[in-house]
Amino acid sequence: MESRPNSKSIKTNEKRLFKRLISERQLENILDWEFEDGFAYHVISEGDIDALSFLKHILKQQTLEYLACSTWCMAMADIVEIERYLELKRILRLDTYVGEIFKGTYMTEYSALWDLHNYWGGRVAIFRNHSKVFCGFGEKFDFVIETSANINGNPRAENTVITINRNLALFYKDFFDNIIDYQKEFQDWKPYQLCNI
């Protein structure tokens, strides 16, 4: 497994790890194992399924050529997990979009996310953002995950829709590709060109 030089690890407490495992098990019990093109899968939870578990459910089915993820904020453990997907080559290219409070309020997390993108490519963009979206293009299907949940653990009821539809994924990709980053820290960034377009 490839990892970047001087990469850091994080100790995840047992309670958080157990909650993530329960979250993933819940999805295995309620969602189809193989998603079908043209279908939308609606889930409402009582805070027992976190947003990243929906992405992991898809990563169990396929490798992603490209993923854009948008969130208002995210936890350090989730940044570490996303980097693991990059190391395992389950995600080949990533762009991340966060809210305008992220850099000032979550300085450690912003620094880790910046380092991740500086090493793996893509960009982290800050703008007036409260959307929670994963937009991905994979070897089997393209998808959009629209959720009320940020990329962090949250014991509140959350709603999520997973839509398996290339046109919808392209719609979101085009939107995020045209976001102007407040920080302008990734000056060389260019929108990712999908291989099969």
Which CATH number covers residue 143?
Answer: 3.30.870.10
Give residue 3's pLDDT. Answer: 60
Domain that holds residue 156: 38-177
- Judge whether 99 lies within some domain: yes
Give residue 115's pLDDT. Answer: 97
Number of structural domains the chain divides into:
1
- Judge whether 17 lies within some domain: no
Beta bridge partners of 124: 96
Give residue 10's pLDDT. Answer: 46
CA 146 – CA 124 distance, rounded (Å):
19
Other CB atoms within 10 Å distance of the CB of residue 155: 10
Instruction: Give per-10-residue mean pLDDT for the chain (197 aa).
Output: 53 52 71 88 83 92 97 92 97 97 94 97 96 96 94 80 97 97 91 86
For the chain, helix, strand, coil in percent to 5 are 35, 20, 45
Give residue 9's pLDDT. Answer: 45
Check if the beta carbon of residue 159 is closer than 8 Å to that of residue 43: yes
CA 4 – CA 192 distance, rounded (Å):
22
- Its pTM stands at 0.88
CA neighbor of 176 nearest in space, from 141, 135, 145: 135
CA 192 – CA 180 distance, rounded (Å):
15
- Judge whether 28 lies within some domain: no
